Amino acid sequence: MTLIHESMNRGHTDTGWLNSYHTFSFGGFQDPTRMGYGALRVINEDWIAPGSGFSEHGHADMDILTLVLSGKLKHKDTLGNLVTIAPGEAQLMYAGSGVRHSEMNASGRDSAHFLQIWLIPNLLGGTPLYQQAALPADRGDGGWSLLASGRAGDAPLTLQSDTQLFIANARDGDRTPLPTTAGRLAFLHIIEGVAMLEGERLASGDAVEIGAGEFEELTWITDGRALLFDMAR
């Protein structure tokens, strides 16, 4: 098992209005051994102070996925979208040939807590796209539900890379299988909670590279949530 980044050792940015932890190199945190994994380039866990946020800025050639964990975000972009993203929702913006957007805390009282994930598309350029969807319903058994996929129609959100992204909601004592495919990359990220992986304790913010057939399952010792990325090499 290769533990990519223990939560306590992630990169950290604190600007006063933004408190952000970086699984991979980002901004002022640069580590040549942590430049992403497969199509996965960024996992940032962000807290934005009330009334603050990311003012308008530009992106190109990237899938940008945002999962709101608590609070609300107000999104505005040059595609004409002006929306609010609440807990239990995710947005996916394919930046394509170029798009400008802002992400602001929609509350003047409460912090907004979310994950921002960047994935490199198969092809560069193209028309920017915006999608928003509710997270898949809790299965009740700790198993995986497909949130985003590079195959249109397979999942609530469509990615521009050969990637599948699953989410699991678990209860204390649940066992979550770790399906992997030979010749592909798998990456596990613990959103919240504590689980055991063959004697290794994983907690919120920890992440693991998983080889095909290497591990069978996570055993949860608290309630929790996790993401699993299945990606082309």
Annotated domain spans of the chain: 8-134, 144-232
* pLDDT mean across residues, the chain: 96
| pLDDT tens-place string over residues 119-172 | 999 999 999 999 999 999 999 999 999 999 999 999 999 999 999 999 999 999
pLDDT computed for residue 73 by the predictor: 98
SS3 string, 108-155, reads CCCCEEEEEEEECCCCCCCCCEEEEEECCCCCCCCCEEEEEECCCCCC
Query: CA 22: distance to chain centroid?
Result: 11
> Quick check: 4 pLDDT over 80?
no
Task: Write down the architecture of domain 144-232 according to CATH.
Answer: Sandwich (2.60)
| Shared fold status for 8-134 and 144-232 | yes
Write the CA distances from 45 to 22, 139, 143, 168, 181, integer angstroms.
7, 25, 23, 18, 28
Q: Which CATH number fits domain 8-134: 3.40.50.11810, 2.40.30.10, 2.60.120.10, 3.40.50.11740?
A: 2.60.120.10
Model confidence, pTM: 0.96
Percentage of the chain exceeding pLDDT 90? 91
- Report which residue type is found at 231: M
Q: What is the CA radius of gyration of the chain?
A: 17
SS3 string, 155-214, reads CCEECCCCEEEEEEEECCCCEEECCCCCCEEEEEEEEECEEEECCEEEECCCEEEECCCC
| Structure tokens that stand for 50 in this block | 């009330």
| pLDDT tens-place string over residues 39-74 | 999 999 999 999 999 999 999 999 999 999 999 999
C-alpha closest to that of 104 among 48, 44, 53: 53
